[in-house]
Structure 1
Amino acid sequence: MSRDAGRLSLILLFAPFALWIGLLIILPQIGIGYISLREKVGINEYEFGFKNYADFAQAAVYRNTLFRTAWISILVTMLALVLGFPISYYIAKIARERSRAALFLMCLIPLWVSDLVRAYGWIVLLRETGVVSTALVSMGVINEPIEMLYNDVTVIIGLVYTVILFMIVPLVSTMQGMDDSLLEAGFNLGGSRLTVFRRIVVPYAMPGIVAGCIIVFMITAGSYLTPVLLGGKNSSWFTEQIYNQFITRYNWEAGATFGVLLLLFTSLVVWLGLRLTGQSLATTVAKDT
């Protein structure tokens, strides 16, 4: 009886999670994959094949947009790591116990508002008549207002600001488990700050680094609002192409194909990253910290 009750409790505990995974992730992905294999041959007439994927391979503009999205996402990931690592190390190993919660709360503040509000906040700051341009003119740094929006730099800044928290959280969780005696031993054995950082801190934090990079890269590659609003007409982001196919052109077959290709391509990049770092999902995002 107790064994059956335990099994029932386990089933009831994981049932909401299983339903969430099945109904909101697995089934939609299966549906998108099914639609991507349909070839429209007439009004409400379809055949199954890979013509949609062949059309994508022949369209250079879509391929270039996918590759451009990928390399900018990788750049954003690297910038988030470079900026987030010192913050994470300070919170985990230097800050006092009482101040850690306050510092973590400060990192959470941007999540209190939506992506749309944050993007418009950058627009208010960086547009031609915005706060930054007006301040530079008043200080005599520039002679006339300049437009700082609608370029890759602005898009990258907005994306880094949006995703850096998702880099900080796994890094803090990982480095909090590092014993301070490891650092003391490194210094006692004659290691410099750079040597201790390279030989002790980075290897220990590698699971958190990889986990943060995976999360940040996937979020960045799948972002829509920030690249479109901050990049304007100059934004060539792959999710915008997916939106245009679904909503503007009503071409669900092409939109589904683009969605599948984005998922496969980003998964390939993550797999390559894991192979290059010698990590695995079991030791990163699934690590018991």
Structure 2
Amino acid sequence: MAKSDAGKLSLILLFAPFALWILLLIILPQIGIGYLSLQEKHGPNNYTFGFKNYLDFFREPIYWNTLLRTAWISVLVTVLALLLGFPVAYYIAKIAQKRSRAALFLMCLIPLWVSDLVRAFGWILLLRETGLVSGLLQSAGLTSGPVELLYNDVTVVIGMVYTVVLFMIVPLVSTLDGMDNSMLEAGYNLGGSRITVFRRIVIPYAMPGIVAGCIITFMLAAGSYLTPILLGGKNSMWFTEQIYEQFVTRFNWESGATFGVLLLVFTSAAVWLGLRLTGQSLASTVAKE
């Protein structure tokens, strides 16, 4: 009996910091944001509850157009990250020698040691008019003058794919590493081509990792702020910028909270739809043992 009580106490002490972190930094702030979004301001210290902030959002096309634009670019970033990350993850998990897998995996994680701000400025140094890429194009005679490669959607997508592709590779490597090579051998022995084996064996087995990676990269892309702002400049229309503008520039915390709630609801709905379309669940992807 004493051992059972000690085990329960150890379990409580082990999970208490995590539970407090979830409660204090995620649940309570979200409740506060939701409460604030339902406050209608009629004057100084004069508030009533209602849905006026949400109605104002849908009445202004620039707001919901920006949300939709953020969503589809985030989907594009997720797809590109999958196309680039899957071959890398497959090579690390199934092709590379065992003694080199750890080194390759570590090389994929090294960019995470650098902050998003430093990585974004690195792209600026490369792509600005006086940057390395522009200089190389001029040296090769491909352009007659400096070329500005920043402040457009293509640059934003490139920068964001570079930022999130690491979060696609990690779950894919973890999933593919558990696949027995005998499954691939059986597929080839039964007359399957490389494409058939990849489509009928590798993809279904890796689907939990694919879905988990897509969820993580999509949420990171949709909630990104520094990369689209720095690389997109004045031409950037990103929903997190709208949230920042409401909170910091206009001091309209009620609208900012509304935008934050809508972004959370929209991205959560997109994740739910993706899970439904792929036939997966959070238990079989993010929480897979």
Q: How does 1:64-143 map to 2 (within 5 A)?
A: 64-143=65-144
SS in 2 for 1:86: helix
Cross-structure match for 1:212: 213
Residues in 2 aligned to 1:202 and 1:279: alpha-carbon distance in whole angstroms? 13
Cross-structure match for 2:225: 224
Residues in 1 aligned to 2:113 and 2:140: alpha-carbon distance in whole angstroms? 33
Instruction: List per-residue Cα deviations over 1:226-273 (Å, max 9, x = no partner).
Output: 000000000000000000000000000000000000000000000000
Instruction: List per-residue Cα deviations over 1:190-238 (Å, max 9, x = no partner).
Output: 1000000000000000000000000000000000000000000000000
Residues in 2 aligned to 1:3 and 1:84: alpha-carbon distance in whole angstroms? 45
Cross-structure match for 1:4: 5
Deviation at 1:126, TM superposition (A): 0.3
TM-score normalised per structure 2: 0.99
One-letter amino acid matched to 1:110: P
Deviation at 1:172, TM superposition (A): 0.3
SS in 1 for 2:47: strand
One-letter amino acid matched to 2:207: M
Cross-structure match for 1:276: 277
Which has the larger displacement, 95-104 or 77-86?
A: 95-104
SS in 2 for 1:258: helix
One-letter amino acid matched to 1:104: F
Residues in 1 aligned to 2:112 and 2:4: alpha-carbon distance in whole angstroms? 43
Which has the larger displacement, 97-106 or 209-218?
A: 97-106
Cross-structure match for 2:174: 173
Cross-structure match for 2:157: 156
Deviation at 1:143, TM superposition (A): 1.3
Residues in 2 aligned to 1:104 and 1:2: alpha-carbon distance in whole angstroms? 40
One-letter amino acid matched to 2:243: I
Task: Report percent identity of matched pairs.
Answer: 78
Cross-structure match for 2:17: 16
Q: How does 1:214-253 map to 2 (within 5 A)?
A: 214-253=215-254
Instruction: List per-residue Cα deviations over 1:72-123 (Å, max 9, x = no partner).
Output: 0000000000000000000000000111111111111211111000000000
Cross-structure match for 1:189: 190
One-letter amino acid matched to 1:86: P
Deviation at 1:286, TM superposition (A): 0.4
Deviation at 1:70, TM superposition (A): 0.2
Unaligned ranges ≥5, structure 2: none
Q: How does 1:42-61 map to 2 (within 5 A)?
A: 42-61=43-62
One-letter amino acid matched to 1:69: T
Structure 1's consecutive aligned runs of 4 or more residues displaced over 4 angstroms after TM superposition are none
Cross-structure match for 2:35: 34
Residues in 2 aligned to 1:87 and 1:8: alpha-carbon distance in whole angstroms? 43
Which has the larger displacement, 98-107 or 67-76?
A: 98-107
Residues in 2 aligned to 1:17 and 1:88: alpha-carbon distance in whole angstroms? 30
Unaligned ranges ≥5, structure 1: none
Deviation at 1:142, TM superposition (A): 1.2
Name the Cα RMSD after superposition: 0.5
Deviation at 1:5, TM superposition (A): 1.3
Residues in 2 aligned to 1:5 and 1:52: alpha-carbon distance in whole angstroms? 51
SS in 2 for 1:133: helix
One-letter amino acid matched to 2:245: N
SS in 2 for 1:41: strand
One-letter amino acid matched to 1:18: A
Instruction: List per-residue Cα deviations over 1:118-161 (Å, max 9, x = no partner).
Output: 00000000001110001110111111111000000000000000
Residues in 2 aligned to 1:34 and 1:287: alpha-carbon distance in whole angstroms? 34
